[in-house]
Structure formats: structure tokens, C-alpha cells
Structure 1
Amino acid sequence: MKVAIIGMGTAGVSTLNQLSKHKKFKNITVDIFDSAEDMGMGKPFQNDSDRLLINLPANQMSLNPNNEKDFKKWYKKNDEFDYGKAKYLPRLVFGHYMKSILNDLLDKHDNIFVHKHKVDSCYVEEIKDERGQYKIDVCYIEDDEAVCQKYDYVFLTMGMLPYKDPYGLSGIEGYIESPYPTTQALRNVKEKDDIAILGTGLSSIDVIRYVMENHKRLPIVVTSRSAQFPTVRGIKHEINLKYINDKSIEKLQKTHKGMAPLKEVEKLFEKECNYQNINLHKMLYRFKKDNVYNLKYDLKHEDEVGHFQSFVEEVKHHMIPIWNAMTIDDKTIFLEKYGQHFKRNTNPMPQSSAKQLIEWIENGDIVVKEGLENVRKYYGKFRLKYKGIEKEDRYHYVINATGPKKNLSELSEDEHFIKGLENKQIIAAHPFGGILVLPYSNEVISPKFGTMPNLKVIGQLTSGVNFDANGVSLLVDQSVRAVNDLYIELKERKNTQKIQSKKK
């Protein structure tokens, strides 16, 4: 069996790592594809400023599904990095951890072949093999020539989509489209230039930390529509769910003809919160508009907040069957009511980042402004318009930290690989983000070819089905399931070949 893995960041390395652990790994050949700079590290964990911290403690990060502390163990043995007993390590360290796993695999196995090229396009042959599946052509440019190879099985593991451009500023001088690498973000900025940062999520915090240490013109303005930072990571709790589990969800679906009505789901949540001794209303509505108040609250109540965050994180791991049993209307209402709460509480910032933000805001070095409505460039400066305020603020540079795109409709023609798959009807957009795949198996559902068991997607592109799949542990979970399916397929292919040979 010939296998391709397209994208070698967290999802790609995890998939290859899981493939290699199987006793039948020697029976397949694997081609891996990515640019030289992304190969083995991906964009979030590339070499960049060491001020960019992972938002999870090091002892909770791992590509080993059986050992949560695998990354921390690697860090302790590695002499290249020394950040003492830091609880939160720089992102680049995790990148080197992934790179070391990849290099170890390449050293041990001669059936893995590296292609340091971005894949340009994919095609599906309309002739089925003996298993009733289509072969997939993967094409890339090498030495200015198009090269295409056929594969029995393909994993799409490209990671996050490019950053949003909500105000149509792409290509305008002074607009920094992506905050990464941050070491390049300020390369053309002069000391006297004013800077505004768009977005208040984790990417924005990365940018704030870097800009504050490398730019002298203060204050730095951070702005978005709501201008609310993520929560602060509290103390982790072990959570064992009693009511939100496969058995309860199956029972709920049987009662409601395969569906999970939102009102019934909310009842399950309430019962679970009561069982876990969580004051749901208090935790959901503890926020005020004042970011400093919110940050200080979470720091002061680290046990209670951490308990809730741990609960939400565990629930997120069980959301796939609930989410996919809801109607579109119920999903829409669910996101309106709870979407931001999931986002804020499953992606909290490190306590050290929160303490720095408080200090900078209270000193006036950082100004957080809500109600951003529009950004335009006029007479050499960017003009930022806020709701209810006529006068526009002016800045020399704007750094975009609004986060990655989520929907295929947001992609520009420059993102031609994904657009090409959609145009050829190999993939189709999911109404809640990413593309259509089967829950759990992550098999592509193609408008033209139907369900494709040998074309798997792992990562953000499955967010519409997998409830905004994000985080290393969730990606590893997806990789484990996808790889198990491949080896089942490999076994069934061999059985089919035996049957056919006997008939001959």
C-alpha cells in the first residue's frame, strides 16, 4: 500500500508516528509532503521568539497517546534547551520535540520518503480498484515541473487555514497579514511608528508579548469587536463524566429518533454540572467588560476556574456524537449561547501571561479598545473606526491576529490547493466550518465520489463535524482512529487479493 501524508506539522507527525507503531508498517510505503521550513514543525511551533509560550503546561503536551508527559520527559533529557523548571515552555521547543520524533522515524525506517514541497493539487482517478476505492493522484512542483504520483491512501494534515482578512487589507503596505513568525513582524517598523493589533485571542497575546519587548513607541493598542481576552489557566482537575457519555447520548438519540434536541442536551449539562459540583451560571457569566477584572478574578480563583476549565475540556472530547445529532437550528443556537464559553475556557492563557497583561494595561502601556467596526488605509495611515465614535484612530502599522479562517468561502484564490479540491468536487464545505467528513473516521464525503474511506482529513478542516477540533490531544486522538482504519483496510485488501487469486 502506498500512502501520502500532506502536511507535516502536529497532525502529520502524529499520524506518521502512529503508523510506525504497527507491526504491519513495513508493508506500506509513506511519502510525506511539506515545505522545508514546516517539515516536522508546522507553523505554530516553528523557530520563533522564545517569548511565545504554549498555553498548556509542558507536562500536559504529548504526541504519545499513552504518555501525557512524553514532551516533558524529552525536554528534561534534551541539552539544547534550558528554561529551568518553567511550567510553560516556548512553542519552538515543542516544534523541536516533534522534529526529533520525525527524525527518529526517518532513521529507523527505510519506507518513509521525504518530499520538501508543498502539494499543488490532488486528483481522483475515476477507476475503482478491487476494493471499490479510487486511487488519488498527488501533484507537486519540482524543478519547475509538475510531478504526480498515485496513492492508495492519503491523509490531509495541513493544519490551520491562513489567517482571516476581515477588513480586506491584504497586500496593503503596513498591514502584517499573519503574526507569525513574530520575529519578522516588526522588521520594517520604525521606533516612532504607532502599532495596533487586531484580535484579542491567544495569537494576539503572543504578538503583544513580542511587540512590548521589541518596540519602544507606546502605548500599543489591542482591539476587536468584543475586546475580551481568553481566560487564565487554573488548576487542573481530573474529571470523570457521569451523564455526558456515549451511553447517555445513545439513549437520548433513541428517544428522539436519532436526534439530540438542544433542550435535552442542556438538561444533561445541568445534571453533569450538579454532579461535578460546578456552579454553571456563575462560571459562564463571571466576566465583565473590564479585562483586568476578569484576569484578576481567574488568578484569584484558580482552583474553581481550573475545575470548570477541566470540565469543559473533558466535555469537548465527548462533543462529537452530541454535536452531530443536533439539528442545524439547534447547532446555531448552541453556538450563539455557548460557543464563546467553550472557546474561552478550552484555550486559556498561562498565568504568567495574564500577570504581564495586567501590569501593562494598568501602566497604560497597552490600551484595549472594543467595538471595532472597520479598518481602512487613507493618506498613509490606517484608520480604525469604532462603534458609536465618529473620530477614527490612526496608526502606521496594523498587525492581524484575528485567527485563522474557518470556512471555505473565506479562502482566496491564493489558497488554490483547498479551493482546487472544492472546485473538482472532491471536498465540500460544511456549514459550520471546514469540510464534510464522517464523524470519528474523518473520511471525506465527496459530492462527486461519495464517501472516500482512503482519503482522511485530520485537524482544523474537520472543525464543522468535530466541534472546532483543536489542541494537540484532539489531533492525536484523530490520528489514532485514522491509522487504525488504515490497517483494517490493509488487512481487508490482502483478504480480497487472496480470494481473487483463488478464483483464478
Structure 2
Amino acid sequence: MKKQVAIIGMGVSGLAVLLALSQLPDKFLEKIDITCFDEPKHFGRGIPFQEDSSTAWINSPIDAISYDYHDMNDFQNWMEQKGLDTDQSYVPRSLYGRYMTERAHDLLQKLKASVIHEKVTQLNYEPDSQKWNIGTSQRTIPTRFDEVHLTCGELPVLDPYHLQGNPNYIADPYPLKNLPKQPGKKDRIAIIGTGLAAIDTLKWLLKNSQADLLAFSPSMTFPTVRILKTETIDWQSLTDTNKQKLFEENSFNFKSLENLFLSELQALGFQNWEETCRQFLAEGIPGISLSLAFPAQLFLLQQLASHLVDWLTDFWPKMTLSNRQYYKENYGKAIINLRNPMPEEAGRLLIEATAQGRLQIIEAVTDIEAGNYGFVLKREVGKELSVATVINATGYHLKESNVHQATTLIQQVIRDGLVQIDPEGGLSILPQTGQVISPKYGILATLYAHGSLVNGVIYQNNSTIKIQQMAERAIGNVIKKPTI
């Protein structure tokens, strides 16, 4: 009898698992049946790459994103086959979604996988047999599954100012095409957040509305501007050899990793971390201007940040809570803003909007109160500000505080003790394998979680490449087990 494998969610993570399975030798593939679950509107593309406004761009250039990181030219080749312009660096997300959908269709045919276009709402475990029963919004699936991959990245948003339910409060800006255009109206709109989701929101509103915009966040820092170069860096300290040595130490010492990072920083020509931050990073719009003024230095820093984050895939789980807190306080936000940059066009648009008075970056917002005709922003310093609409662009997160807003499936598996929320957010997993850690059963050998669901344990698990690598790690663990 063949092994029954279920993939719940067919966005970026689900496609990554399907791709990893497709790379198995035929002798393994002959022994498994694969069933893929998702709603039709998200099947093959997920939420990030759904149909949306043409101004909702991918924040990665077309040569830095692919459904298969082993072939980073695949997306460009697909565009060329469709007669699309590949000279542009950035394209709409919906276009990448169409590419993903085609590649998913190809894999489904290759693997002869079954497709169920229904949303999974129930997952039950049989501890004696280690098998899984799946229920959807429409029925109970008769198949008992031997292995399940949770790749359902539909996470709730945070509600930092407790505004959910108020008129003119938009809890999630996506899809951007549904945001209020308000042609001709000069209302003020406040955007909570200064990350990439906020950048998307600000860009869309600047191009599609007449509103004056206010943006703010606790850090007040925007992503840096991506510097496009093809230069390869020859790492001096953060080398594969040093990584292996550090990983094999009996007791992980974060100071050793920090010293390697700082040594690499100096090898790239920077004095030290504090001086680097002072010279090349800043809050608000000045930070964007620094990226444009010092492209050579920003390129090196962005590459270094990305390289460090790759290392932290393996070292973050080894770090103590105090180590993690130290890292967050001294490096965290800067590394994130370097590693997740915005397109240059977006940076210039924000600078121009600020100069024209349409965009204002405000500090020290302590509270937001709903009124009869909008909202009042309370501040530590400066006068209160009234706005007609508030848009929450802080992104998606699974925390203890918002589990009640999670999907029916996630609430159920938490309630039944099959999964647990990690202290860093997301689900707890064994990072070496992707296997879920259950508060009731311990490590579940046949349940895996991927993508944004594990963005706490796997540091910055938000790139298509890293998600694919983690899927390969999980599938590699599967074939080591004697049951397949």
C-alpha cells in the first residue's frame, strides 16, 4: 500500500514541498500518493501573489526569485516565453502568481497528485497508528494520511491599537486594489508600520488617491533601498569552514558568531557596527536618502545582512533567549531593513511625496482613539492628529495574543494540543527537520510545518529561497525514515 501524503495549503510553501518531493528518486515516488488542498483563489499562488493592482510589485528583482532556487533563471525564462519585458527589474506580484500557478500545474501532473479545491478546517491525529484524518469546509476526507505538511500561510494580523471593528479601520491592506481610492478627497490617512507592507500601501495610495498620508512605527525606520549589482563577495570570516566549526561546537557561543560578523564587517571596509549605523542608516526618510547617496556601501551591507540571516537559519535555534534579546537590541532591526530592501522607485517616490507635503513621518504615537468621524492619534510629543482612516500595515504574525483571529484549522490544532505557539511566534518545530513539536505528544514524526507558520523558530523565514531550502530539509528527513 502506498504512503499517503497531504499538503495543506498550496502557496509558496506548498509549492516548495511539492517541488522537493518531485526531486526524489523514482523508487521513492512510486511508493507515495500526494493530495494537495487549497481554495481555488489561492491554489498555486498563495496570498502574497494573488491577483492585485499592477502597482503591487514584488520587492525582489526578477533574477532573485524563482519557484526553484536551483534554477534562478526560470522566472525570467518564463517571462521571455510569454513575450514579456525582462529588462525591467521588478514586476507585479500577480504576474509572479501566474508563473507559480503554471509551475504548480506542471508538478501536479508530473507527480500525478490529487487536488482538492477545498479549505481544510480539521486535522485529527490517531496516536496509535500515527495517521491523520482531514476535514474540509465541505466534508470529511475518507483517506487516512501517513504524513501531513502544514503549508497554510494565512496568518492573522496584529491589532496593536485595538481598533478591530471600528469603521474606517482597515486591518489588512491586501489586496491593495480594495483600498479606498477617494478620488478628489483630501482626507488624511494614517498607516501603521514602516516595513515592506507599509511601503506597498504608501505607494498605492500615493498613486491612486489624493489623501495626505501619515506613517509611523515604534522603530521609525524604513527598509533600505535595494542596490542592484552582480558583484560576488569573497567572504573572509563568515566562511563555510567557520560555520561548520561553530556549528559543531558542543556549546554554542553567540559571542563567537558576533566576532565573525564584526570581523567580516571590517574586511568589507567598515570601521565598526556603531559607526556604520551612524553613517549609513537613519530613521525615516533620511534613511532612504542615505541608501541612494551611498550605493556602494549599502550594497555591501545588504549582502552581509543577507549572509548573516542565512547563518541564523541554523544558529538562531541554538541561541539562548538572552542572546536573542541582545541580538535584537543591537542588530535586529538594522539587519532586517538591510536584508529586506525596497525597490529604488519606491524610495524615490516616498522622498518626493515627503518633499511635496503629501507624506509625513510622525513620531511617538502612543495610542489611537476612535471618534465619531475618524481617529485621533495620541502622541508623547507634539499635538494630537486627526485622521479619517487608519490602515494597519504591520504584516502577518501568529502570536498568543491573536490566536483567536487565526483560521479555524490553526485554532483547532492548537486547542487539541497538536501544535503550540513558540515564544518567538509561529509554531514550534524541530528546526533540523521541520517536524512539529506538540505539547501533548512531543515531536510529531509525521507532521511538518513550513513557511510563515514557523517564522519564529526559523529566523526571517520569509524568502522563497529559504522556504524552499527548509522544505528540502524536511523531505530529506522523510526519506531517511524506514517507512518510505
Partner of 1:118: 119
Partner of 2:80: 76
Residues in 1 aligned to 2:4 and 2:183: alpha-carbon distance in whole angstroms:
48
| Matching residue's letter, 2:167 | E
Pick the aligned partner of 2:285 from 288, 292, 295.
292
Aligned residues of 1:259 and 1:327 also touching (Cα < 8 A): no
Query: Following superposition of structure 1 onto structure 2, how do residues 95-110 of structure 1 map, counting pairs within 5 Å?
Result: 95-109=97-111
Residues in 2 aligned to 1:124 and 1:98: alpha-carbon distance in whole angstroms:
31
Following superposition, the deviation at residue 87 of structure 1 comes to 0.7
Residues in 1 aligned to 2:115 and 2:181: alpha-carbon distance in whole angstroms:
32
| Matching residue's letter, 2:363 | E
Residues in 1 aligned to 2:270 and 2:75: alpha-carbon distance in whole angstroms:
31
Residues in 2 aligned to 1:459 and 1:203: alpha-carbon distance in whole angstroms:
18
| Matching residue's letter, 1:179 | P
Pick the aligned partner of 2:301 from 305, 308, 312.
308
| 1:421 is aligned to 2:425 | no
Pick the aligned partner of 2:170 from 154, 168, 176.
176
Relative to structure 1, the CA distance from residue 480 to residue 251 in structure 2 (aligned partners, 3 Å threshold; closer, same or farther) is closer
Following superposition, the deviation at residue 189 of structure 1 comes to 8.4
Q: Cα deviations across residues 89-113 of structure 1 (Å, max 9, x unaligned)? A: 111111111101012223444x311
Pick the aligned partner of 1:46 from 50, 55, 73.
50
SS state at 1:394 partner:
strand
Relative to structure 1, the CA distance from residue 443 to residue 246 in structure 2 (aligned partners, 3 Å threshold; closer, same or farther) is farther
Residues in 2 aligned to 1:14 and 1:252: alpha-carbon distance in whole angstroms:
29
Following superposition, the deviation at residue 404 of structure 1 comes to 1.4
Residues in 2 aligned to 1:251 and 1:14: alpha-carbon distance in whole angstroms:
29
Aligned residues of 1:17 and 1:101 also touching (Cα < 8 A): no
Partner of 1:63: 67
Relative to structure 1, the CA distance from residue 446 to residue 417 in structure 2 (aligned partners, 3 Å threshold; closer, same or farther) is same
Following superposition, the deviation at residue 276 of structure 1 comes to 3.8
Residues in 1 aligned to 2:272 and 2:152: alpha-carbon distance in whole angstroms:
36
Following superposition, the deviation at residue 141 of structure 1 comes to 1.7
SS state at 1:377 partner:
strand
Q: Cα deviations across residues 384-437 of structure 1 (Å, max 9, x unaligned)? A: 112223x43222211110111242433225533222212211112221221221
SS state at 1:412 partner:
helix
Unmatched segments (≥5 aa) in structure 1: 129-133, 495-504
Query: Following superposition of structure 1 onto structure 2, how do residues 250-329 of structure 1 map, counting pairs within 5 Å?
Result: 251-252=245-246, 257-260=250-253, 262-281=254-273, 282-286=275-279, 291-329=284-322
Partner of 1:443: 435
SS state at 2:304 partner:
helix
Aligned residues of 1:324 and 1:465 also touching (Cα < 8 A): yes
Following superposition, the deviation at residue 179 of structure 1 comes to 0.6
Q: Cα deviations across residues 180-214 of structure 1 (Å, max 9, x unaligned)? A: 00111217888354322111111111111111122
Relative to structure 1, the CA distance from residue 91 to residue 283 in structure 2 (aligned partners, 3 Å threshold; closer, same or farther) is farther
| 1:480 is aligned to 2:472 | yes
How many pairs were matched up? 478
Q: Which moved more, 1:175-184 or 1:406-415?
A: 406-415
| Matching residue's letter, 2:216 | T
Pick the aligned partner of 1:203 from 197, 201, 204.
197
Relative to structure 1, the CA distance from residue 392 to residue 49 in structure 2 (aligned partners, 3 Å threshold; closer, same or farther) is same
| 1:493 is aligned to 2:483 | yes
Relative to structure 1, the CA distance from residue 290 to residue 483 in structure 2 (aligned partners, 3 Å threshold; closer, same or farther) is closer
Aligned residues of 2:189 and 2:389 also touching (Cα < 8 A): yes
Relative to structure 1, the CA distance from residue 441 to residue 276 in structure 2 (aligned partners, 3 Å threshold; closer, same or farther) is farther
Residues in 1 aligned to 2:108 and 2:313: alpha-carbon distance in whole angstroms:
34
Q: Cα deviations across residues 337-365 of structure 1 (Å, max 9, x unaligned)? A: 11101211110001111111111111111
Residues in 2 aligned to 1:21 and 1:224: alpha-carbon distance in whole angstroms:
43
SS state at 1:318 partner:
helix
SS state at 2:404 partner:
coil
Following superposition, the deviation at residue 244 of structure 1 comes to 3.2
Q: Which moved more, 1:339-348 or 1:420-429?
A: 420-429
| Matching residue's letter, 2:207 | E
| 1:372 is aligned to 2:396 | no
Counting aligned pairs with the same residue, the percent is: 29
Pick the aligned partner of 2:452 from 457, 460, 475.
460
Q: Cα deviations across residues 146-176 of structure 1 (Å, max 9, x unaligned)? A: 5464211111112252221111111222111
| 1:397 is aligned to 2:380 | no
Q: Which moved more, 1:267-276 or 1:426-435?
A: 267-276
Aligned residues of 1:61 and 1:72 also touching (Cα < 8 A): no
Residues in 2 aligned to 1:16 and 1:85: alpha-carbon distance in whole angstroms:
30
Q: CA RMSD in A?
A: 2.2
| 1:362 is aligned to 2:355 | yes
Pick the aligned partner of 1:163 from 157, 162, 167.
157
| 1:351 is aligned to 2:350 | no
Aligned residues of 1:408 and 1:434 also touching (Cα < 8 A): no
Aligned residues of 1:225 and 1:373 also touching (Cα < 8 A): no
Following superposition, the deviation at residue 321 of structure 1 comes to 3.1
TM-score (structure 1 length as normaliser): 0.89
SS state at 2:136 partner:
strand
| Matching residue's letter, 2:70 | N
Aligned residues of 1:140 and 1:148 also touching (Cα < 8 A): no
Pick the aligned partner of 1:93 from 95, 98, 102.
95
Q: Cα deviations across residues 98-130 of structure 1 (Å, max 9, x unaligned)? A: 101012223444x311112221121110213xx
Unmatched segments (≥5 aa) in structure 2: none
Pick the aligned partner of 1:154 from 142, 145, 148.
148
| Matching residue's letter, 1:440 | Q
Relative to structure 1, the CA distance from residue 20 to residue 414 in structure 2 (aligned partners, 3 Å threshold; closer, same or farther) is closer
Q: Which moved more, 1:274-283 or 1:436-445?
A: 274-283
Residues in 2 aligned to 1:274 and 1:51: alpha-carbon distance in whole angstroms:
39
Partner of 1:20: 22
| Matching residue's letter, 1:113 | S
